């Protein structure tokens, strides 16, 4: 399976963001002929204050972002991973940060809402309170792609919690999506390290489309790190986007993954622990 990650500079203008997404995706499809395209977190909206982010949410199936991604999949005969869409949650005051996958016919194949909320102050003094706008998801989600590939769905800050990726490994994934809007400060120090770690520990391909550039917030502008990547099960970066909006493309080689898992069978060697110590037996 040939995969293109789409790197975007989304702002607080949904129409402009969706037009950018369409343009970048169609350029990748025309030039690289991918089987699957993957968008970043917050593809349809970045910026503004909490009220703006809440207002940007969509009734997911009828919303313009869902419709665009479904159309791209059906028109071009490609799989589409949406990055994330702010989903309006019925009877709730907060949204969900939701990612979806569409098959080549434009049918929804899977849906996941981000579990871990980015609530912190970064070293440069920027304060983030994702939980003020989004409620966390609760379910670990996998999607069956073609060619025997099974994908795990995660989002950005999730990547700091290894137990989620152990759960995906137990579920038998061979590909993990990690769409992101990583800050410049944390991106410089942690983006590549964490992505490669998740690939190495699960011996899976990691598909990480990211936001780049900046967007407006009430107290100024915030800068995203970019550097969208595709990483193989050995932890090698096989494709990376340059600065600015664009793309990176690589081929998912299942034979290489099988070779890595055979040569270094860490998934079989994993030992289990509980509050009483090591549990007898090994493997996932």
Helix (H) or strand (E) holding 2: strand 2-7
Scored b (16 or more CB within 10 A) or e, 237-265 reads bbbbbeeebbbbbbebeeebbeebbeeee
* Catalytic residue of the set 14, 87, 114, 130: 114
Sheet hosting strand 237-240, strand order edge to edge = 142-144, 150-153, 175-177, 205-208, 229-231, 237-240
Nearest to 10, CA basis, from 44, 33, 38: 44
| Active-site residue, 46 included | no
What is residue 246's three-state secondary structure? strand
* Catalytic residue of the set 14, 41, 46, 87: 41
Do the Cβ atoms of 215 and 222 come closer than 8 Å?
Answer: yes
C-alpha span between 15 and 11 (Å, rounded): 10
* Catalytic residue of the set 69, 87, 130, 156: 156
Measured in whole angstroms, the distance separating CA 25 from the mean position of its chain's CA atoms is: 16
Measured in whole angstroms, the distance separating CA 185 from the mean position of its chain's CA atoms is: 19
Active site residues: 41, 114, 156
């Amino acid at each position: 399976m040939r995969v293109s990650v789409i790197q975007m500079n989304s702002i607080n203008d949904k129409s402009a963001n969706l037009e950018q997404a369409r343009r970048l995706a169609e350029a990748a499809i025309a030039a690289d002929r991918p089987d699957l395209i993957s968008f970043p977190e917050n593809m349809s909206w970045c910026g503004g204050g909490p009220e703006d982010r809440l207002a940007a949410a969509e009734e997911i199936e009828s919303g313009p972002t869902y419709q665009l991604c479904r159309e791209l999949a059906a028109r071009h005969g490609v799989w589409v991973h949406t990055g994330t869409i702010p989903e309006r949650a019925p009877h709730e005051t907060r949204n969900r940060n939701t990612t979806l996958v569409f098959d080549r016919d434009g049918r929804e194949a899977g849906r996941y809402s981000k579990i871990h909320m980015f609530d912190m102050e970064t070293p440069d003094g920027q304060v983030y309170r994702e939980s003020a706008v989004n409620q966390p998801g609760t379910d670990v989600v996998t999607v069956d792609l073609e060619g025997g590939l099974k994908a795990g769905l995660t989002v950005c800050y999730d990547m700091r919690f290894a137990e989620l990726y152990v759960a995906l490994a137990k579920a038998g994934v061979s590909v993990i999506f990690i769409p992101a809007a990583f800050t410049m400060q944390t991106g410089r120090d942690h983006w590549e390290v964490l992505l490669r770690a998740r690939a190495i520990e699960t011996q899976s391909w990691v598909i990480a489309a990211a936001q780049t550039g900046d967007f407006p917030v009430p107290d100024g502008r915030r800068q995203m790190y970019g550097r969208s990547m595709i990483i193989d099960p050995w932890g090698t970066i096989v494709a990376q986007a340059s600065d600015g909006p664009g793309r990176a493309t690589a081929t998912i080689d299942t034979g290489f993954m099988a070779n890595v898992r055979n040569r270094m069978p860490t998934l079989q060697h994993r030992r289990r622990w509980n509050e009483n110590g090591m549990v007898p037996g090994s493997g996932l």
